[in-house]
Homo-oligomer: A and B are copies of this chain.
Amino acid sequence: MPRLDDVARAAGVSKATASRALSGADGVSPATRTKVQRVADELGFRASGAARRLATGLTRTIGVLTPSVDRWYFGSVLHGIAHAADLHEHDVLLYDLGAFGHGGHEKFERFMRRGEVDGLVTITWSLVGGDLTRLAELGIPVATVGEPTPHTRSFCLDDDAAGAQATEHLVQLGHTDLLHIASQTEVQPFDASSSDRRKRAFEAVSAEHGLRMRPVRTVPTTLEGAHAVALHFLDRPDRPTGIVAGTDEVALGVMLAAHQLGIRVPEELSVVGVDDVPSAAPFGLTTIRQDPAQHGEDVVAWIMGAMRSRGRRGGDASQPDRSHTGYAPELVVRASTAPPRP
């Protein structure tokens, strides 16, 4: 593996000049730059990342802390992050924390001990407020996607609007007897999780329109979990005419249970979800769309900007940016919702 020194020697310049020529720094004559670059290519030179890190203090890496990678939302955010990081020539270091309390916290501590990154994004649900505070004190840009938080910059769907929009869609269709099925949050990070905010929006709209107030059901946050529970509480004559599910997975599980119980959707039961996962369309699920991959791209763009401004002002100059971006929900009407039957 050739070193910078080899390139410099072969090009007949000093290490300093070779370094500048290769890094694109200015103050190098065009001729010299071209020559150094050619020699570097010929030799197959690849600068040592470790040496560069040590010299510059920059890792060119952004860290991701997530509770899961094998679920649609998290995978999509991660995809967006990876894509955007690549555009900025940054690597992504993945910390898959797993469920909180199931080894997640030890993994978090390990990150604190040895994770070396220039910027960090945490995908919600794995962290509590105290953790986020510690991260925010790391001296690097930190952002959260999936939940608004007072401790860091944050990005996510406007859950209040999403919950309201889903509920209002059914009210508009004429429903007066609705049930909200919330998906379980494994950890309660801040004052209100996404799930909580969607629930409250449902309740507010229900109250506003004077709907029958049924107690909210909370189910596991997977299709199979929601399905198992729905099989029980749907199988009774006094069931509602419409269901607002906290997520598409839950909605799909409910639809499947309804189908298996011989309850026709939407004739006898309307169902609306939140997410617009890829399988929502073939199942004809009416839902509220969000685009997590876009959120992932946006969070990286913000981190890159924040890194630049910190660099410029030499550190802890101004207050860190802890603003929140809420994405507007978009109702997608399909075949799972209709007016209630008289």
Contacts and interface: CB of A to CB of B under 8 A. Distances in A.
A70 B59 contact: no
A223 B48 contact: no
Contact of A69 (B50, B82, B98, B114): B82
Nearest to A46: B113
Contact of A54 (B50, B83, B92): B50
Interface stretch (A120-128, A208-216, A235-243, A274-282): A274-282
A228 interface: yes
Nearest to A256: B282
Interface string A44-87: 00101111011000011100100011111001101100110010
A38 interface: no
A59 to B, nearest CB: 7
Contact of A82 (B48, B76, B96, B224): B96
B69 A75 contact: yes
7 contacts: A46-B113, A53-B53, A82-B94, A91-B95, A223-B279, A224-B278, A224-B279
Interface of A: 46, 48-51, 53-54, 59-61, 64, 68-72, 75-76, 78-79, 82-83, 86, 89, 91-96, 98, 107, 110, 113-116, 222-224, 227-228, 252-253, 256, 278-279, 281-283, 293
Given A50-B116, A61-B93, A83-B96, 19 more contacts: A50-B53, A50-B59, A70-B75, A71-B75, A78-B94, A78-B96, A82-B94, A82-B96, A86-B96, A91-B93, A91-B114, A91-B115, A93-B93, A93-B94, A94-B94, A222-B278, A223-B278, A227-B282, A252-B279
A260 to B, nearest CB: 9
B93 A92 contact: yes
A329 to B, nearest CB: 20
Contacts of A281: 224
Contacts of A49: 53, 114, 116
A252 B139 CA distance: 48
B223 A282 contact: yes
